Amino acid sequence: MSLSYKIREQQSLYFVSFATVNWIDVFTRREYKDIFVESLQFCIKHKGLEVYAWCLMSNHVHLIIGSTGDKLENILRDLKRYTSKEITKAIEENTRESRREWMLWMFERAGKKNPNNTKYQFWQQTNHPVELSSNAMLKQRLAYLHQNPIVAGWVDEPEHYLYSSARDYTGVKGLVEVVVIE
């Protein structure tokens, strides 16, 4: 049986992951990461997104999410659309970005392969939603998500990484409003 990546139950929690096209390491600068964080916060405040855990890596993001408002697939679509436009704009305007021309060329190249794009494609189209149907599965994904910065060699402890919900799970307020899983 093949694993089908679809959001079927809107009231369930989902683990989702999505990456930049060609796994380009975009999130190496704080300004790009902050655009993603601000968009996530907007979706929480205005679209009913509930974030239970998150971790932004250099080229991908992991989220454990639910919704009390819009459909999850619509929220993810809007989040990816907005961040795609804003981050590529920030890259275009950033004269200190040494990889600017190369990244924009890669995004444009990917965009030409997809008729839905007007110019660039920033994110891969998949989200790989996995319904978290058991407490064991939820805890496994939560641990995996928070361990990413350690595995990458960036920090020694999960809560030391700023762009993650691991801080919230140690009682320290993080960058994004998180519903902590007890």
Angle (nearest 5°) at CA 60 between 51 and 67: 20
- Beta pairing class for 49-56 and 130-131: unpaired
Q: How far apart are CA 96 and CA 18, in angstroms?
A: 27
> Taking the domain 14-133, which CATH number applies?
3.30.70.1290
pLDDT in tens, 141-163: 999 999 999 999 999 999 999 99
Q: pLDDT per residue over 31-84, tens digit each?
A: 999 999 999 999 999 999 999 999 999 999 999 999 998 899 999 999 999 999
Each domain of the chain, given as residue ranges in start order, spans: 14-133
From the list 177, 153, 164, the residue with the least C-alpha distance to 41 is: 177
pTM: 0.93
Two tokens, residue 166? 């691991």
H or E segment and range at residue 56: strand 49-56
